Structure 1
Amino acid sequence: MDVRVQRSVIANLSLRPKAIEVGPFVIGWDPTTDSRFINYATPQLDAVVTTADVTALVAAFRDIGRVPRLEYVASCAPDLEQQLIDAGFSVEARHDYLVCFPDSLSAPATPDGFEFAEPATDEQRASAVTVQNEAFGADPVATLADVARVRRMQDNGGVVMLVRSNDGVCVATGQATAPRAGVSEVAGIAVGKAFRRRGVAGALTAAITGQLFTTGVDLAWLEASGKESWRVYERVGYVPTGKRLYIAHD
């Protein structure tokens, strides 16, 4: 399972507008944003990493004006963490990832007063980004680059879904990466503060996951950073499976 998820991470980064291969690493670089959660690297599977490789990776990040940072499934590069720490990196977080299969998905009913839809216009995409940014503490204003990023995800085969209240206002959103080898990552599940604890997050996660399964995906995965979100995901059929490491050189 770890290998399939790590392969998915590599594929996702390779779809960035300016993916860069640096020795045994791939950097996903998007020149339109300096977000450390979009611009980061991951090791290739079965990579043999040397001190020189780590030095070259840091230099490559400096060349593009981004913070040297990696995300990866820990078991797929068991010795890499210490190499990075020796080079001045610090661990940001260790997150569990959870997986869901078609026969384990439990989709709840859509909560009353809400409807789910895929954004079809740039205005709708912008509203989805605004909800996401507010939920994650970023600048709530959606830029043209943000909207283009959402559109590009859809064009590449990913899933983007928004939740609207009865008056047509976007109150929640989430997405999933373009499937690769039957695997997709569900991410960015965000619900506006005034609409939380109504079952929206779980129903949205299940709706996105269910749509993936209709396209032939047989493994959906996501990360839970806290117990509250963990419970939401487990209720719709996700189970904890492995560990991912976030590590950066600030």
Structure 2
Amino acid sequence: MLSRAQAALRDVIRADAERVGPFLVRFDEHDDDPLMNYAVPDEGAAPTPAEVDALVAAFRARSRTPRLEYLLPSPLVDAALGAAGFTVDHLLPLMAIDTLTPPPTPAGLTVDAVTSDEDLLAVSVVQNTAFGVGRTADADDVARQRSLLRDDGVVVLARLHGEPAGAGAFTAPRHGLAQVAGIGVLPAFRRRGIVSAVCADLTARVFDAGCTPFLETEPDDKVTRLYGPLGYRTIGHSASVSLR
């Protein structure tokens, strides 16, 4: 499962990625946020010091923070990056699910798959606000959402009594898996069960597509408070490492 999940995460960025040695690298030309710019090592990668130096140079040339995301264990990648001065920013639980336990739906909440520019902008407003992105959502965000849709992903918008409140997505199915991601809720609507409802909706859609859902989350109470009750279980960890 972990090997398939890593292959799926790699394939999601492959079409738009650049190759630097044993790494696929996603650069966002419009946004220098580290979350939008990262590399993923190849399966079984054993990077040399020269290859790591070339990776760092590729990031620096674009004024981006050198950053990687990959699943553990990956001792050869760990050693090569550690020797170059990279440090671990986060170890994120990787969770998967076999059977969904639907949560209660909050009164007045609807969750719909969306495709219009207006709705995709509303999704971006929710996500940028929820994740603390320090800028206003704009046409570039809509273009990113539309790119996900073109790649057979799905974007959903949650409305509470008709007002945008939450959002999320799942990436294009790869290797029988699809990643549930980008789940965010506006601060005014938190602690009302909206995250659980959005996650459950996306999870059900992935199952309906004949795939197994998985997700990465913060190492906090979301693991047990939000996703565990739906049926998700921790199967491993994803490392986010960077060179400051």
Report TM bin, short chain: over 0.9
Q: CA deviation at 1:156?
A: 1.1
Q: CA deviation at 1:163?
A: 0.5
Q: Which residue of 2 aligns with 1:73?
A: 71
Secondary structure of the structure 2 residue equivalent to 1:108 = coil
C-alpha deviations, 1:5-54, integer Å up to 9, x for none?
111111122143xx111111110122122121121001100122211111
Residues 1:242 and 1:226: Cα distance change in structure 2 (over 3 Å): closer
Q: CA deviation at 1:60?
A: 1.5
Q: Which residue of 2 aligns with 1:106?
A: 101
Task: Give the superposed CA RMSD.
Answer: 1.4
Equivalent position to 2:110, from 104, 109, 115: 115
Q: In the alignment, is the contact (CA less than 8 A) between 1:159 and 1:212 conserved in 2? A: no
Give, in whole Å, the separation in 2 of the partners of 1:201 and 1:128.
14
Q: In the alignment, is the contact (CA less than 8 A) between 2:115 and 2:155 conserved in 1? A: no
Residues 1:121 and 1:97: Cα distance change in structure 2 (over 3 Å): same
Q: In the alignment, is the contact (CA less than 8 A) between 2:23 and 2:40 conserved in 1? A: yes
Q: Which residue of 2 aligns with 1:240?
A: 234
Give, in whole Å, the separation in 2 of the partners of 1:117 and 1:2.
30
Give, in whole Å, the separation in 2 of the partners of 1:163 and 1:15.
29
Q: In the alignment, is the contact (CA less than 8 A) between 2:38 and 2:69 conserved in 1? A: yes
Equivalent position to 2:197, from 197, 200, 203: 203
Matched, 1:130 2:125: yes
Q: In the alignment, is the contact (CA less than 8 A) between 1:13 and 1:41 conserved in 2? A: no
Equivalent position to 1:92, from 85, 89, 92: 89
C-alpha deviations, 1:88-136, integer Å up to 9, x for none?
21211111111113xx211224211111112231111111111111111
Q: CA deviation at 1:227?
A: 2.7
Q: Which residue of 1 aligns with 2:11?
A: 11
Q: In the alignment, is the contact (CA less than 8 A) between 2:28 and 2:36 conserved in 1? A: yes
Q: Which residue of 2 aligns with 1:39?
A: 37
Q: Which residue of 2 aligns with 1:22?
A: 20
Identity across the alignment (%):
37
Q: In the alignment, is the contact (CA less than 8 A) between 1:15 and 1:28 conserved in 2? A: no
Secondary structure of the structure 2 residue equivalent to 1:216 = coil
Give, in whole Å, the separation in 1 of the partners of 2:75 and 2:232.
25
Q: Which residue of 2 aligns with 1:143?
A: 138
Q: In the alignment, is the contact (CA less than 8 A) between 1:97 and 1:240 conserved in 2? A: yes
Q: TM-score, normalised by structure 2?
A: 0.95
Q: TM-score, normalised by structure 1?
A: 0.93
Secondary structure of the structure 1 residue equivalent to 2:35 = coil
Q: Which residue of 2 aligns with 1:62?
A: 60
Q: CA deviation at 1:182?
A: 1.0
Q: In the alignment, is the contact (CA less than 8 A) between 1:28 and 1:41 conserved in 2? A: yes
Q: Mind listing any 5+ residue stretches in structure 2 that lack a counterpart?
A: none
Compare 57-66 and 155-164 and name the one that shifted more.
57-66
Give, in whole Å, the separation in 2 of the partners of 1:222 and 1:59.
31
Give, in whole Å, the separation in 2 of the partners of 1:141 and 1:191.
16
Q: Mind listing any 5+ residue stretches in structure 1 that lack a counterpart?
A: none
Q: Which residue of 1 aligns with 2:222?
A: 229
Secondary structure of the structure 2 residue equivalent to 1:79 = helix
Give, in whole Å, the separation in 2 of the partners of 1:114 and 1:226.
28
Secondary structure of the structure 1 residue equivalent to 2:155 = strand
Q: CA deviation at 1:140?
A: 5.2
